């Protein structure tokens, strides 16, 4: 019977692929079954397909003359034919297996038989341009042009420093000014909001390419325009200190190095009654716009010591009002109310009144709300009250633990001071 290889040529007419090769050991029964399946007689010269398979399977992993030589050689046979003696049959997908790539070094026997290392020519493999790839990676788009060429004239200044350096300095300045912000570096933009004097003021800061330089624009979205001008002046002074802009662009009253950013309002004795009492009466109004405006105005005045002293004398008349304001569901009035309580907690008698009422328990609940400003001011108020009352404050260790894990660094700072005061 004439046996043919996979290419159709007669096996008998081809010269032996391996002249000096002889199988080592006794042919296993599994090999005999394979011979019978393939139709190969054991008496025929062993130089067909199975001999090539056996040559590859019994090739030494290392050359004796070159023991460190290891090459990647793709196996031209199924994994089953190499290790279990079952040769794959052409055309039967169930028997065929994916070729296995192994590190094999051709030994002296296989080399003498005429086998050639099937190594791939690496010169034909395209190599990436490392320099151009790095250039693409580090290439940064310049700041965009201002939309329609329009810029806010009163709150825009020009600079010539690198915009990425300016973005870094602006981020540090916003942290120093206690501004909550979200950075969008691909657009050279900061979306900010600040709660100055209990009033929310959202604004944007963005860098534009303009007139061969870069323009830094601060744009108010809503809120008090007078308070926004104060924020912009403080921002300009910080920018001039780090070299983003010139000191000449700052207002004259902010060019002094020791100017306080938070100005406290001190009032004369005869002005206190006529100013504060109407504000507190309007704060208890049923009309939401009137209530929010009155609480925001009182919050701005509460940073002064004279206002805290007047409030301490009349706290019995307005303690119920403070309790209701801290429980308000209106965000605008709640923003100002929590800051007011934190500002007034600079006297021991006021702290005792807040602790004996429901104000402290309301402050503890507000530390867990979603508003970053409310949680921050509530933790500040609790820290101020604990400074005077110590362990007498109605706050437990379980109330402080979540604050120590807050994402806001200022909340964590207040919580740490509160824990040290209570020695928990």
Residue 327 pLDDT > 70: yes
Per the CB < 8 A criterion, the answer to whether 51 and 21 are in contact is yes
> Do 135 and 92 form a contact (C-beta atoms < 8 A)?
no
Mean pLDDT value across residues 15-27: 46
Model confidence over 86-102: pLDDT tens digits? 444 444 444 444 444 44
CB half-sphere exposure, 139, CA atoms < 13 A: 7
Tell me how far apart the alpha carbons of residues 310 and 313 are, in angstroms, rounded to a whole number. 5
Determine phi and psi for 83, rounding to 5 degrees.
-120, -20
- Separation in Å, CA 154 to CA 157, 205, 219, 313: 9, 14, 10, 44
- The whole-number pLDDT of residue 26 equals 46
Rg (CA), the chain: 41
* Dihedral sign, Cα of residue 396, residue 397, residue 402, residue 403: positive
pLDDT(393) > 70: yes
- The string of pLDDT tens digits covering residues 31-82 is 555 555 555 454 444 455 556 556 555 554 444 454 444 444 444 444 444 4
Measured between alpha carbons, how far is 401 from 112 in angstroms, rounded to an integer? 77
pLDDT bucket at 223, cuts 50 / 70 / 90: confident
Mean pLDDT for the stretch of residues 217-227 = 90
The whole-number pLDDT of residue 141 equals: 87
What pLDDT is stored for residue 34 in this prediction? 53
Which tens digits make up the pLDDT trace of 135-159?
Answer: 444 567 899 999 888 899 889 999 9
Which two structure tokens, joined as six digits, stand for 70? 């290891």
Tokens for 378, please give them. Answer: 């509530």
pTM: 0.60
Of the ranges 239-253, 289-303, 337-351, 405-419, which one carries the lowest mean pLDDT score? 239-253
Q: Please state which of the ranges 23-27, 206-210, 277-281 shows the lowest mean pLDDT.
A: 23-27
Tokens, residue 202:
């959202």
Q: Any bridge partners for residue 205, and if so which?
A: 190, 218
Rounded to the nearest integer, the mean pLDDT of the chain is 76
Model pLDDT, residue 220: 94
- Contacts with 401 (C-beta within 8 Å, 6 or more apart), sequence order: none
The mean per-residue pLDDT over the stretch 294-313 comes to 92
Angle, helix 348-356 to helix 305-313, in steps of 10 degrees: 50
Structure tokens at 304: 């002064």
């Amino acid at each position: 019977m004439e046996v043919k290889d996979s290419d159709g040529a007669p096996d008998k007419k081809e010269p032996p692929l391996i002249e000096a090769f002889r199988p080592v050991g006794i042919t296993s029964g599994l090999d005999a079954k394979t011979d019978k399946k393939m139709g190969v007689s054991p008496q025929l010269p062993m130089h067909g397909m199975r001999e090539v398979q056996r040559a590859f399977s019994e090739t030494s992993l290392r050359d004796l003359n070159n023991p460190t030589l290891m090459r990647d050689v793709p196996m031209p046979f199924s994994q089953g034919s190499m290790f279990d003696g079952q040769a794959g049959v052409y055309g039967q997908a169930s028997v065929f297996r994916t070729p296995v790539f192994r590190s094999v070094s051709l030994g002296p026997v296989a080399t003498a038989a005429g086998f050639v290392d099937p190594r791939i020519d690496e010169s034909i493999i395209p190599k990436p341009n490392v320099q151009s790839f790095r250039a693409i990676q580090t290439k940064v788009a310049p700041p965009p042009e201002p939309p329609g060429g329009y810029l806010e004239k009163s709150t825009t200044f020009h600079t010539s420093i690198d915009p990425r350096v300016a973005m870094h300095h602006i981020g540090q300045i916003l942290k120093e000014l206690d501004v909550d912000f979200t950075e969008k570096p691909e657009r050279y933009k900061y979306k900010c909001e600040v709660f100055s004097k209990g009033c929310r003021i959202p604004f944007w800061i963005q860098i534009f390419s303009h007139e061969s330089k870069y323009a830094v624009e601060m744009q108010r979205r809503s809120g008090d325009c007078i308070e926004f001008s104060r924020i912009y002046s403080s921002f300009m002074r910080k920018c001039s200190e780090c070299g983003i802009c010139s000191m000449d662009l700052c207002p004259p009253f902010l060019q002094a190095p020791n100017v306080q950013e938070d100005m406290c309002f001190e009032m004369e004795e005869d002005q206190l009654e006529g100013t504060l009492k109407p504000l507190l009466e309007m704060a208890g109004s049923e009309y939401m716009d009137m209530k929010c405006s009155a609480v925001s105005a009182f919050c701005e005045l509460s940073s002064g010591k004279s206002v805290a002293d007047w409030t301490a004398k009349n706290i019995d008349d307005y303690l119920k009002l403070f309790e209701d304001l801290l429980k308000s569901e209106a965000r605008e009035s709640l923003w100002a109310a929590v800051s007011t309580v934190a500002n007034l907690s600079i006297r021991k008698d006021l702290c005792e009144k807040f602790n004996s009422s429901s104000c402290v328990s309301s402050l503890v609940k507000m530390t867990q709300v979603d508003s970053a400003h409310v949680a921050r001011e509530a933790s500040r108020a609790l820290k101020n009250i604990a400074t005077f009352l110590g362990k007498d404050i109605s706050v437990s260790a379980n109330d402080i633990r979540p604050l120590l894990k807050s994402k806001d660094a200022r909340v964590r700072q207040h919580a740490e001071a509160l824990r040290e005061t209570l020695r928990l």
